[in-house]
């Protein structure tokens, strides 16, 4: 009898131990427990620590309450200004209501991921390319509102959304580079023009100051010559003297005419040297015009039948010399100063 009682006590203790092991649950600090008893939600969420449930009756669902970092896959889209881009982002969210995260949505992680992708494509279509590149804070806020609106009913709170990268086609990158280069060139030209305007004003003031003292202009000219000569140049170019121009301005009309005549005489003296320039370069000089000379035409000679010329009677006897013909010599050796004439063979 005693043995049967001991065996029963041991059996009860073992059953209690097995029940305790089946009913014991541990909820971590960053988790919350949602209990479903026979499929029905139990009121109250189990906090962190040790807790028990009814074995085979209650089912405990643990929900992570930490902030979840989820990357959003890159999405291809067309902006409002018809530019094809590829944008990826990252989303930070956390569960604020464990019961709603278990009851209202099947898988809140997958739901948030799909909602983030859809919202990202939508925000791409509503924005311009310049906004995607330079105004990301505004786009991040709009994207956060678009994802947070439906996720509130899931017990999920969107903490932050960030657009990571915007990929552009290579043609668009080259176009943007050319645009930036043109804009910088435009600004450089504007700055250069502004500098020229300021320099012209200063030069006008300097000219006004120097007009009262002509020696100041001469000193400035000498300073310029010294500055040019300091560069070890082999050629030094001196500017046209301003005093000569002032002399011409102050001179009387008669003196000015004489000065102009002297200058024109120098130019005429240099004209022959300029005329000889083509010959010095290997070119044929233009023939100078020469007045025609009056040449009397020779009388036509009569045809004389000549027989065989008798030879000398002896080898020692010299041949008779012919009298020189002036017309024949003139035709054989023409005057080099006269224009070229065709060669005429005299008819005997």
pLDDT in tens, 142-159: 888 888 888 888 889 998
Q: Mutual orientation of helices 214-229 and 170-212 as an angle, nearest 10°?
A: 130
Contact 59, 34 (CB under 8 A): no
| Cβ within 8 Å of residue 99, ≥6 positions away | 34, 41, 45, 155
Query: What would the pLDDT profile of 231-289 be if each residue is shown by its tens digit?
Result: 676 676 666 666 666 766 776 666 656 665 665 554 444 444 434 444 444 444 444 44
Query: What contacts 76, CB < 8 A, 6 or more positions away?
Result: 84, 85, 86
Question: Can you read off the two tokens belonging to residue 306?
Answer: 């000549």
CA distances from 142 to 24, 124, 146, 308 (A): 46, 11, 6, 131
User: For 300, which DSSP code?
Assistant: P
pLDDT tens digits, the chain, 348 residues: what are they?
678 888 888 888 888 888 888 888 888 888 999 988 888 888 888 888 888 888 888 888 889 999 999 999 988 888 888 888 999 999 999 999 888 888 888 888 999 999 999 999 988 888 888 888 888 888 888 888 888 888 888 889 998 899 888 888 888 888 888 988 999 999 999 999 999 999 999 988 888 888 888 788 778 878 877 777 776 766 766 666 666 667 667 766 666 566 656 655 544 444 444 344 444 444 444 444 444 444 444 454 444 444 445 444 444 445 555 555 555 555 555 555 444 444 444 444
Of the candidates 51, 65, 63, 167, the one whose C-alpha atom is nearest the C-alpha of residue 105 is 63
Structure tokens at 348: 């005997």
pTM here is: 0.52
């Amino acid at each position: 009898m005693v043995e049967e009682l001991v065996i029963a006590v041991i059996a009860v203790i073992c059953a209690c131990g097995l029940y305790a092991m089946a009913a014991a649950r541990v909820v971590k600090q960053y988790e919350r427990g949602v209990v479903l008893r026979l499929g029905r939600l139990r009121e109250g969420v189990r906090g962190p620590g040790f807790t028990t449930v009814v074995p085979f009756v209650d089912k405990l669902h643990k929900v992570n309450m930490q902030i979840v970092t989820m990357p959003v896959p890159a999405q291809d889209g067309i902006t409002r200004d018809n530019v094809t881009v590829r944008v990826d982002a990252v989303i930070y969210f956390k569960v604020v209501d464990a019961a709603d995260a278990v009851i209202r949505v099947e898988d809140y992680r997958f739901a948030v991921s799909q909602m983030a992708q859809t919202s990202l494509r939508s925000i791409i279509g509503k924005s311009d390319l310049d906004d995607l590149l330079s105004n990301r804070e505004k786009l991040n806020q709009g994207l956060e509102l678009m994802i947070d609106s439906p996720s509130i009913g899931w017990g999920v709170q969107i903490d932050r959304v960030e657009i990571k990268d915007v990929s552009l086609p290579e043609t668009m990158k080259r176009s943007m580079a050319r645009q930036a280069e043109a804009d910088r060139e435009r600004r450089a030209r504007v700055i250069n023009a502004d500098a020229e305007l300021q320099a012209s004003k200063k030069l006008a003031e300097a000219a006004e100051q120097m007009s009262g003292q002509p020696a100041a202009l001469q000193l400035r000219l000498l300073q310029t010559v010294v500055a040019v000569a300091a560069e070890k140049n082999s050629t030094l170019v001196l500017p046209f003297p301003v005093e000569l121009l002032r002399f011409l301005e102050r001179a009387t009309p008669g003196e000015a005419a004489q000065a102009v005549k002297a200058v024109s005489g120098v130019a005429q003296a240099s004209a022959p040297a300029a005329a000889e320039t083509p010959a010095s370069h290997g070119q044929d000089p233009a023939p100078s015009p020469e007045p025609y000379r009056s040449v009397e035409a020779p009388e036509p000679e009569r045809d004389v039948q000549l027989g065989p010329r008798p030879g000398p009677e002896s080898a020692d006897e010299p041949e008779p010399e012919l009298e020189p013909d002036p017309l024949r010599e003139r035709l054989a050796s023409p005057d080099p100063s006269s224009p070229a004439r065709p060669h005429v063979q005299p008819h005997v």
